[in-house]
Amino acid sequence: MSLRLGDIAPDFSADTTQGPIHFHEWLGNSWGLLFSHPADFTPVCTTELGKTALLKGDFERRGVKVIAISVDDLDSHNRWTPDIKDVTGTEVNFPIIADPERKVAELYDMIHPNASEKATVRSVFIIGPDKKIKLTLTYPASTGRNFTELLRVVDSLQLTANYQVATPADWKDGDDVIVTPAVPNEALAEKFPKGVTHVKPYLRVTPQPNK
């Protein structure tokens, strides 16, 4: 059965390009970004892992650990990573899980038979410090992911986890946010001292509370 938002991310042990890991232990109290790619030595994946390496510091500043996976073995990963550096100018600075027996891929439902019987699709899982899945995305093999968008999603998830707000369409860090319907009007002044604008009875907007 497919994993759903709020499910505990399955734990596993695996070999990676940075040594063996136990996934939950490796995550610790951090947020996690687990993303799969169809295969090593493929063009779109090469650009994706290079972009992720470039943005690793941005993820770290948000307390997010990044890890990739495909059904290739460790030797293949290690032979491929120099290509990523050559193409993108960035050393791969995060672990890539080797999953030749597809154990992790099947645990996370990354094998979609309608797309491929043997390759992982472009899946993304954002996992909270409570080990629960906060976001899932699946892309076709032909479409590279927008990792800047994943940073934006992390900003939204971390903000909304700590305040009773939601983020509107095209929101980015620093923009106004929406007060959730669970907050009664009489509690607005205390909870949102920067002020609240009533756009509609069901739509109340306030400056981002942690800025």
Q: Which residues are catalytic?
A: 45
For residues 101 and 68, what is the distance between their CA atoms, to the nearest angstrom? 16
Backbone angles phi, psi at 96, to 5 degrees: -115, 125
Q: Which amino acid type is present at position 36?
A: S
Residues counted in the chain: 211
For residues 100 and 118, what is the distance between their CA atoms, to the nearest angstrom? 10
Instruction: Write out the two tokens for 192.
Output: 């949102």
Residues 33 and 73: beta-carbon distance below 8 Å: no
For residues 41 and 70, what is the distance between their CA atoms, to the nearest angstrom? 11
Nearby residues of 5 by Cβ (< 8 Å), 6 or more positions away: 133, 134, 135, 136
Element (H or E) spanning 69, and its range? strand 64-70
Nearby residues of 80 by Cβ (< 8 Å), 6 or more positions away: 40, 41, 46, 72
For residues 122 and 187, what is the distance between their CA atoms, to the nearest angstrom? 43
